Amino acid sequence: MTILAGTSFLLPGHAAWRRLGDEAAVEFADYGAWAAALATAPAERPVVLVLFLADLLGGAGEGEDALAPLLAALDRRLSQASAPTLVGFAVGEDGSALAGLRRPTVQDRAARLLADALYQRATKAAGLLVLPLDPLFGRIGTDRAYDMRNYYAARCRLSAAGLGLAAEAVAASLARAKTPPRKVLALDCDGTLWGGIVGEVGPGGILLGTDGMGQAFHDFQKAAKALAAQGVLLALLSKNNEAEVWEVFDTHPGMALQRSDIVAWRIDWAEKADNLVALAADLDLGLDAVVFWDDNPLERAKVQSLLPQVLTVEPPKDVTDWPRALARLDALARSEITDEDRAKTGQYQARAAFIGDKAKAAAEADFLSAIGMRATALALGAASLPRAAQLVAKTNQFNLRNLRLDAAALADFSKDERSVAFLVRLADRYGDHGLIGLALAHVTDMPGLAFLDNFVMSCRVLGRHVEAWALAQLVAGLRTRGGQLLVAEFVDSGRNTVAASFLPDHGFVAEDAWPSAWRALAAHLPPPPSDSVGPGTTRYALALDQAVIPFQEFFADADIA
């Protein structure tokens, strides 16, 4: 149960506070008893303090003196609390604008001191959340947000509208303490990033630039770019010819967004709901991490009904209001950027740069030879097991058998002398991609017979043939352990289509074309674990001593570490 305290009265029971849940969800401190509430609130209960500087200034002096008791009480609470402490603050009164012409007013100065003091504490106390309320009140006008009649009638400084804004922001802030912000902004193109339909009017005919409506679209792009700088991943989701969209990106002077800002895209004529599912899979994120912005009400309605987990934004009617609406979107707002966020954005941006460069290159082979790929195989060991387990658990696309082994099972597997188990690390001129693949195979009890247990590759490096490099290492490892025939399976999980042709593309022979000797040998395989067998399991085999795995010429330093 949240404890809510204010320096002036907050009108417990007012309908505005129902945003925080039913009456049982909130306990209001007595009027004026905010200091006592901070001092006595149990450590495990969230506390919300709504304070108005007007209540603190005056009697106790100015600035530091007026804030000292508050900050002392707050420090005591922060040193003990395990639950969040949310401090919403507002000034609560103002004077003539001319009073600030030459020096800050008492209120301005106190507000700045308070904000500094709170944010300084927030860097040390993870449980402290700071919510400046005056910018929110400013949206409807402070004269409407405050109501002195309520103050003289009930010691409440706010109007019903002001209470509503405060309650909504408090509810959203407390929810944020439990639910992280969404990570992806999926943007439509025609009518969203620019006015008009590029397929009809060409890049020269679209509305985008430095005047009027064109500038509104430009500023909307700038708002998206600002979110990207905060760690939001930008994606395109457009029914268009892909080349025409990129032509706008590459040639239109009014574009604020660049190709390199976009980490994933689906530009084709498929249904957007399907494309959103694929896009989220590309990014290894759930649909509940996605925000979708599209000017077309029909597209919005379809996505809303098919994918309720996605936040489909209802944009303002007037495009001139879009830049502000996007910037104000709570679902994407982040007050801190984690290392993971930063790394992820960088990785996907590198991927986008790679895909863009590859598309522009005249010959794929020349391009891949020139990007300096260095692959390394890292034998599974104590230090690498957590990453191996994570890859197995999180990779849905390039996951050959969908066999989900945990760290303990992987450890057992790697200890067997007849097994070949390694992680793949890749670096190239687009950066160090880290440990991006896992190969698991073993030589069976039947002499010469080997089995590919699983093969997993992060989708962020696909398109480089690093899977071929890993397969070649696997083949070499199995051969030194006496393997002659490698049997492998593709288990269709419904999400791993990208891996469907991996085996036949690299020399594996489908079961229906096996010679009889292979059949006889493969018959000795124990039945596979039941959790790996789906309706769409296809078996293949590769003769190890004759195997020539393609694409090895793109890689330098092919060694098993």
Question: What does DSSP say about strands 509-510 and 537-543: parallel, antiparallel, or unpaired?
Answer: antiparallel
Instruction: Determine the Cα–Cα distance for residues 192 and 318; give it in Å rounded to an integer.
Output: 12
Q: Does residue 11 bind another protein (CB under 8 A)?
A: yes
**Alpha-carbon distance values, 192 to 276, 308, 543 (Å):** 17, 21, 53
Q: How far is the CB of 11 from another protein (least distance, A)?
A: 6
Among 13, 42, 104, 199, binds another protein (CB under 8 A): 13
Asked if 541 and 524 count as a contact pair (C-beta separation under 8 A), the reply is no
Q: Which is nearer to another protein, 153 or 343 (CB)?
A: 153
User: Which is nearer to another protein, 31 or 367 (by Cβ)?
Assistant: 31
Residues 6+ apart with CB under 8 A from 335: none
Q: Residue 221 and residue 194: Cα distance in Å, rounded?
A: 9
Stretch that binds another protein, among 85-93, 153-161, 308-316, 487-495 (CB under 8 A): 153-161
Site size with another protein, rule: CB under 8 A:
11
Tell me which stretch binds another protein (CB under 8 A): 82-90, 136-144, 149-157, 237-245: 149-157
Work out whether 144 is an interface residue with another protein (CB under 8 A): no
Cβ closer to another protein: 14 or 302? 14
The footprint of another protein on residues 525-554 (CB under 8 A) is none
Count the helices and strands in the chain (H runs, E runs): 21, 19
> Which residue among 79, 101, 152, 512 contacts another protein (CB under 8 A)?
152
At 481, list the tokens. 């352990």
What is the spatial distance between Cα 395 and Cα 91, in angstroms, rounded to a whole number?
Answer: 50
Q: What is the DSSP letter of 377?
A: E
Within 125-147, where are the H helices? 134-140, 142-145
Please say which residue, 150 or 402, places its beta carbon nearer to another protein: 150
- Compute the half-sphere exposure of residue 212: CA atoms within 13 Å on the CB side of its CA: 4
**Considering only residues 176-235, where is the footprint of another protein by CB under 8 A?**
none
Residue 199: its H or E element:
helix 198-201
Among 154, 177, 285, 359, binds another protein (CB under 8 A): 154
Min dist CB 156 to another protein, Å, is 8
Between CA 554 and CA 91 the distance in angstroms is 64
- The residue among 12 and 463 lying less far from another protein, judged by its C-beta, is 12
Binder of another protein out of 33, 71, 160, 177 (CB under 8 A): 160
Report the DSSP beta bridge partners of residue 7. Answer: none
In the complex with another protein, which residue's Cβ is closer, 103 or 149? 149
Angle between helices 297-306 and 272-282 (to 10 degrees): 60
| Least distance from another protein to the Cβ atom of residue 253, Å | 49
- Closest CB 328 distance from another protein, rounded Å: 24
Establish if 153 lies at the interface with another protein (CB under 8 A).
yes
Contact region with another protein (CB under 8 A), list: 73-81, 150-158, 311-319, 475-483 = 150-158
Decide the pairing of beta strands 184-187 and 233-239. parallel
Quick note: the x/- pattern for another protein over 454-483, rule CB under 8 A, is ------------------------------
* Token output for 18: 């129902």
State the nearest-atom distance from the C-beta of 39 to another protein, in Å. Answer: 24
Is 152 or 269 the residue whose CB approaches another protein more closely?
152
Closer to another protein by CB, 22 or 445: give it. 22
CA distances from 34 to 69, 127, 305, 427 (A): 11, 18, 45, 56
485 strand-pairing partners: 449, 543
Residue with tokens 């949310």: 86
Closest residue by Cα to residue 182 from 118, 253, 143, 234: 234
CA–CA separation, 165 and 145 (whole Å): 8
Contact 478, 441 (CB under 8 A): yes
Nearest distance, CB of residue 13 and another protein, angstroms:
5
Stretch binding another protein (CB under 8 A), from 93-101, 147-155, 386-394, 515-523: 147-155
Collapsing DSSP to helix, strand or coil, 374 comes out as: strand
Which window, 148-156, 328-336, 368-376, 527-535, contacts another protein (CB under 8 A)?
Answer: 148-156
The nearer residue to another protein, 16 or 474, going by C-beta atoms, is 16
- CB nearer another protein, residue 160 or residue 533: 160
Nearest CB to another protein, comparing residues 149 and 317: 149
Backbone angles phi, psi at 550, to 5 degrees: -70, 170
Of 103, 124, 149, 178, the one binding another protein by CB under 8 A: 149
The distance of closest approach from Cβ of residue 23 to another protein in the complex, given in angstroms and rounded to an integer, is 8
Chain residues binding another protein by CB under 8 A are 11-15, 149-150, 152-154, 160
